[in-house]
Amino acid sequence: MGWKIFMHSVRMVLDNLGPALRVSAVLYLLQAASQIVTFMMPQADPMGGAPAAAPVAAGELLILMILALVASLWIAVGWHRFVLTGETPRGWLPRWHGSEMLSYLGRSIVIGLLIGLGIAVIGGLAMG
């Protein structure tokens, strides 16, 4: 069953490659640029010494991480609105749906917490 769902999702993207690129290409490029900037920061070098020596870098990294998260949520909502409602993107960015993006974020946090709780319970039982 899992394989069928996976193959269906791959077919959905390939059969709708134009809209998929309009929903995601620019935002993925921004995420890639953000990652390149992050890894090129000398303060982000794990071998470069104490991170406390460059507190400005922590703020910059936080901003880049938040922007990457927003881009991911924007892509997810844009793609699902295309697939489920037929809302086609006009241009190279999907429409902004802030409330839906916050809903996705909230649900993702809850799912992450539930998975963490499950892992903690299993780990606790395994450790005795």
Span 70-85, pLDDT tens digits:
999 999 999 999 999 9
What is the chain's Cα-based Rg?
19
Span between the terminal Cα atoms of the chain, in Å: 34
How many beta carbons lie within 10 A of that of residue 41, not counting itself? 15
Sign of CA dihedral 34, 40, 41, 45: positive
Note whether 27 and 75 are within 8 A (CB): yes
**Closest to 19 measured CA to CA, from 84, 69, 93, 72:** 93
Is residue 64 over pLDDT 80?
Answer: yes
Does the pTM surpass 0.95? The reply is no
The residues spanned by each domain of the chain are 2-96, 97-128
- Please say if the pLDDT value at position 49 is more than 70: no
* Alpha helices (H) in 1-128, listed in sequence order: 2-15, 17-40, 55-85, 98-127
